[in-house]
Amino acid sequence: MSEVRTRFAPSPTGYMHIGNLRTALYTYIIAKKYGGKFILRIEDTDQERYVEGAVDTIYRTLRAVGLNWDEGPDVGGDYGPYVQSERMGIFKKYAIELVEKGGAYYCFCDKDRLTELKAVQEAAGISPMYDRHCRNLSKEEIQAKLDAGTPYVIRQKIPLEGTTTFHDELFGDITVENSTLDDQILLKADGMPTYNFANVVDDHLMGITHVVRGNEYLASAPKYNLLYEAFGWEVPKYIHVAPIMKDKHNKLSKRNGDASFEDLVAKGYLSEAIINYIALLGWAPKGEREIFSLPELIEEFEIDGLSKSPAIFDPLKLRAINGEYIRALSPEKFAEYAEPYIRQVVRSDVDTAKIAALLQNRTEVFSEIPEQVDFIDEMPDYDLSLYENKKMKTNRETAVDALTRALPVLEAISESEWNFQVLHDRLFELIAEMGVKNGYVLWSLRVAISGKQFTPGGAFEIAEIIGRDETLKRIHRSLEMLAVSIA
Ligand code: GLU
């Protein structure tokens, strides 16, 4: 087999849809699995859709997830240029060559005629198709119009009869009647190619062996095959992948807020976790295992594990996978990622690494960190019913008892001794002395200094983090509130 060469050919639309990222991922994996090359080609010929900075988003995203290209606009290669708009001369040359080979023809129909044609066809209930008006112009007629400078497009000359079959690695052989295929435009009046033409020419010239793309292109594939045949070029292997859906009926779109890679990163998902999850959206590994690094994906991936049916994006599953990646981080790395999220709500001079240590096992998405640590800087207003806990057998009265007993014990601990171990030992001495369950003291204490039902870490950790003064101050305040409510 000749060297495998795959390409990712995004249009610069301004953001990376995760469906596109998944296409890039499968494309990359196939190249690497077979020791081949992964090529990046920017398809920017649709100037109306061009968005400033969009190419940088593509570079940034692919690099962030480790899909490094072997050839592309910024890294070069032997098959450039890799930006479609820089290849304009090439397309015109090949379009004219195709006319000479009998696979295409000049069309001089103007807008008015085409608009009218479309209206007539629609009124008659037939799907609009070019009526091949210019298909049989004589050589002389064509030359005369060209000489007169009449604007023209070049159209594909689809065989009038018979069928065309193409092969997809996933969907198998697909056959269509040629009579259903439109003589589509290959080269527009402004000399720009349509996607339908450019993708074939570029894939051929860049030596692409495997084309991976969304199955919205499946219906056009027969026309591409006819182009390859008319040129006498070898057809690449096609792998059309099914879309990613929000649910049974709706595609995942940017409006859902989950569809773009950058949105997910901003929500606190790790790029490794995103890649791992989207690999599973449409591809099933052989065993039960679901956590794969990029090199492991290359190892495990098989084209026949791809699914023909749409995949449903499951945010809970993504969370769970993200949680696994978070737990697998070293404490230092986790603290580094968590720091900006902690700092959104904690501005005081506390040790964020200590807070991070409490969060690692209970975080699935970084963006949920602020709400977990928002009590550290400032004690929230809280409902005193939090002291009523059936399991711990506590209520407001027991809270007053526990806090009143704990207060002198805590006050006796000096600033320099104030740490988890000392707090733990002294309070356990008190618990033993009182002959009560741990929760009797510790539940009330934790509520009194956090004002929350759930917190990362228990009373000792929180007391250590917020410090001696703040702990004592919060206990006094809570005792006052309890006194008022009981009286
Ligand atoms: N530029 C096309 C897109 O972004 C590429 C399709 C293809 O991979 O051939 O949808």
Out of 1-15, 93-107, 149-163, 403-417, pick the least confident: 1-15
Residue with CA nearest ligand 1 atom 5: 9
Task: Please check the confidence at residue 76 and state whether its pLDDT lies above 80.
Answer: yes
Task: Please check the confidence at residue 479 and state whether its pLDDT lies above 80.
Answer: yes
Task: Please check the confidence at residue 254 and state whether its pLDDT lies above 90.
Answer: no
Query: Best substitution site from 7, 8, 11 to test ligand 1's pocket, by max atoms within 8 Å of Cβ?
Result: 11
User: pLDDT-derived band of residue 313, with 50, 70 and 90 as boundaries?
Assistant: very high
Whole-number pLDDT of residue 229: 97
User: pLDDT-derived band of residue 457, with 50, 70 and 90 as boundaries?
Assistant: very high
Query: Best substitution site from 199, 210, 235 to test ligand 1's pocket, by max atoms within 8 Å of Cβ?
Result: 199
Whole-number pLDDT of residue 349: 85
Distance 42 CA to ligand 1 centre (A): 9
Whole-number pLDDT of residue 50: 66
Query: Catalytic site residues?
Result: 254
Radius of gyration of the chain (CA): 33
Distance 286 CA to ligand 1 centre (A): 29
Distance 261 CA to ligand 1 centre (A): 18
The mean per-residue pLDDT over the stretch 82-107 comes to: 95
Q: What is the pTM of this model?
A: 0.89
SS3 assignment for 311-356: EECCHHHHHHHHHHHHHHCCHHHHHHHHHHHHCCCCCCCCCHHHHH
Minimal CA–CA distance to 222: which of 207, 240, 209, 206? 240
3 state SS of 34: coil
Task: Please check the confidence at residue 487 and state whether its pLDDT lies above 90.
Answer: no
Task: Please check the confidence at residue 445 and state whether its pLDDT lies above 90.
Answer: yes
- The 10 Å CB-count burial string (b at 16+, else e) for 267-284 is bbbbbbbbbbbbbbbbbe
Distance 10 CA to ligand 1 centre (A): 5
Strand-pair category, 163-168 with 153-156: unpaired
Helices 420-434 and 459-466 cross at an angle (nearest 10°) of: 130
Alpha helices in 148-283 (DSSP H): 195-205, 221-231, 261-266, 271-280
Pocket of ligand 1 from Cβ distances under 6 Å: 9-11, 43, 199, 213
User: pLDDT-derived band of residue 47, with 50, 70 and 90 as boundaries?
Assistant: low
Query: Best substitution site from 50, 51, 217, 227 to test ligand 1's pocket, by max atoms within 8 Å of Cβ?
Result: 217
What pLDDT digit, counting tens, does each position of 277-306 carry? Answer: 999 999 999 999 999 999 999 999 999 999
User: pLDDT-derived band of residue 53, with 50, 70 and 90 as boundaries?
Assistant: confident
The answer to whether 176 and 163 are in contact (CB under 8 A) is: yes
The answer to whether 178 and 229 are in contact (CB under 8 A) is: no
What pLDDT digit, counting tens, does each position of 368-389 carry? Answer: 999 999 999 999 999 999 999 9
Minimal CA–CA distance to 302: which of 209, 170, 174? 170
